[in-house]
Every structure is written in structure tokens, then in C-alpha cells.
Copies of this chain bind each other. A is one copy, B any other.
């Protein structure tokens, strides 16, 4: 089979439920598809359930499935992915936790699980700790700042275990919990000991920290502990290039969102963040489109473009902003479509999951998909939305099936059988 180049454009959180503010229409139903209509009319459309119907995907699990890894039974928990989202570069075997800056009183009793939630000095505190924490029993520890009071904590060393309990009691008025092993494995016993020494050391360092002296002098509660939860040990995923049965030599991802960059990076994509790409609604999508065309021309087999603004507008519950970002995404898509060779390229446009502006969070609703490929069954639609997608030739694909279809149209997958 002839191997074609593949371009995938994801508008994060694409797809909606009817929006009262839009007269019970959806942003997609109102969007102007004319920039891409000439190609759309020759495309198949359909729906994709990133995990399976009824399961609400995270951006991480959705991206794993989009790139052919079924996250079910193959997901180490949120700890490592929160760390990726906070900019950590993880290696297989690293154990990561989600953490909270917290306020504790006498005897390590938790006074405020979030130390007031809004902590202007949080980044400084992370830096202060990273400079002083060093290693614990030979295990490297590193903090990454996430948002508000949230941090990710990554432990790196030989033979670490994630079979350990939380130190976060999840309620206030009780002591910070001692971390205990959850399996008979000696590695779990050691990990629990490392975590307990981490908790003590962080507490001592924060108590000595001048930032807390200043906070106390202003009458603010000290930020003097980190509560850990959701230990997860980073899995080794088969890279997108050189995967069994899939022929892809070079893959590039364009994104300005730490979590997506992190996932793409562990999957073996080369990751690019072009100038002006900000990972929010103001991001310069044409800059991403130019980068995509540039990488396409350089001969990458798979070029992935991630657009975050659609999801941000959805989490903010702003349908008009979502509509605007969708239309800008379509212009970026049109720029790409105008410059690739449609005779030898597969181009997909879809969401990674649905984030209805009416819900402001990820739901399990299937995402609309447009798939252009030479020879694909054309559905003849000149627009794409939640209702039309239900009538498309692709039908309703789930989990890794979409990746399979994509690779098949690109002539890049092996036959299963003789």
C-alpha cells in the first residue's frame, strides 16, 4: 500500500449539547465551515468515543487513545499526568503524586488543606524547596507547580513503587497521615519511608522559610506542608514511531499545553510550540498552521496540531467565545488543507473529548470527526456538527479504533492475519 502523510488537527473539547443562549443550537451548528467546505464535502464524517460511551475522558487518556494506546488498564493514575501537565519530563518508573500546599498546626494537624487556595508565593516556594530537598535515601525528589495550591511531586530512582497510601487525610482537623505500603513488596515499604521523610523535610524547610515569616507577619496562615495523594508509577508506552504493526518513522506535535506536550513527548513525538502559540483562547492558530505545513514539507509522516482554546472557552461556559475559536480553528485547518497535497495526504479534524459549554467540564458525549483521505467515502456534508456527525459514514468509533482507521487510510497499518 502507498504510505500517505497524515495531519491531525484537534480542537480540544469540541462538541456541545444544545445551548440556550444560542437558541438551542451548538457552537458547531452556528460555525462558518466555508473555509474548509470544499474538502469537507469530499470527507467522511462520524463520531468518536475517546474511551467508550459513558466514560468521561481526561485530556491525557483521550490523547493516549487518539494515538493508539488504550488507556483502560494502562493508565498509572493522575499523579504522573498532573506532573506532565505541570511541565515535568517523566521517565518510565518515576513515581508521581498530586500534592497540595497546606497549613498544619501543632502535631501536624491539618488546619487548611489548601493553605488558603490562593498562594501568590507558590512558585517561589516550589523553587525554594527544589533547591533544598535534594535526594532522600538515594531517591531524587522534584516539585512542579501546577495551579493555585496544587503541585506535582516526582520521585525518581531505582525500583520505586506506587503501592503506597496518601498522606492527605482529605479532611481537616486531623493529623497528616503517615504513608504506609499497600503491598508486601519491599519497594513499597521503602517508598513509604521516603514519602514520610519527604513530608517531614518539607515541613521543616517551609517552617524555616522567610516567606512564611512574612506571611505570619501579615496575619496570613503559613504554607507549611505538602499533602500527597494518588501515587502513580509512570508506564512505558510504546512510542508512536516504530510501533508494532504501524509504519510511522517521524511524528511531530504542535501544542502549547503542558499536559498534551507531555503526553506527546512520552509517546515519542517531537514537540513544537511555535511563536504566538499560548495554549489559551488568544493563541495564534495561524502560527501553528504554518508550523504544521513546515513540518509536513519536511516530510514528517504524522503532524499533530493541538488547539486548546475551544476547551478553555468551554470550561468558562462561553459559547460565543467557543464559536469564535472554532471558526479560527477552521481557518487554520483551511490554511493547512490549501498547502498539503490532497492526493497523498490524510487529514482529520476532531475533538479529543467533548466539553459542552453548558456543562463546563468533560462529558462522555462522542466527539464529531471529519476524515479526509484520498478514496474515502464522501458524505457530501458542507458542515459538521453533533447532529450531522451521527449520520456520517465513519459511524461511531471508539478508543483506539479511530487511530486504526486513520493509519489504514494512510496505508500505514499491517494486516492482522494472512
B395 lies within 8 A of A54 (CB): no
Distance to closest chain B CB from A301 (angstroms): 17
The verdict on A415 contacting chain B, using a C-beta distance below 8 Å, is yes
Expressed in whole angstroms, the Cα–Cα distance for A100 and B78 within the complex equals 49
Is A178 in contact with chain B by the CB < 8 A criterion?
A: no
Considering the complex, which residues of chain A in the window 35-58 have a beta carbon less than 8 Å from any beta carbon of chain B?
A: 47, 51-58
Q: Tell me which residues across on chain B come within 8 A of A387, comparing CB atoms.
A: 377, 393
Complex contact B71–A375 (CB within 8 A): no
Does the CB pair A71–B416 fall under 8 Å?
yes
Tell yes or no: A407 within 8 A of B by CB.
Answer: yes
A338 contacts the other chain (CB 8 A)? no
Inter-chain contact A417/B375, CB cutoff 8 Å: no
Nearest to A363 among chain B residues (CB) is: B408
Residue of B nearest to A75 (CB): B417
B418 and A82 form a contact (CB under 8 A) = yes
B51, B57, B418: which contacts A85 (Cβ < 8 A)? B418
B-contacting residues, A51-91, CB 8 Å: 51-62, 71, 75, 78, 81-82, 85
Residue from A54, A365, A401, A417 whose CB has the most chain B CB atoms within 10 Å: A417
Chain B positions within 8 Å of A401 at CB level: 52-54
Contact of A56 among B58, B361, B393, B416 (CB under 8 A): B416
| Cα–Cα distance between A414 and B361 once the two chains are bound (Å) | 11
Specify which chain B residues have a CB less than 8 angstroms from the CB of A51 in the assembled complex: 416
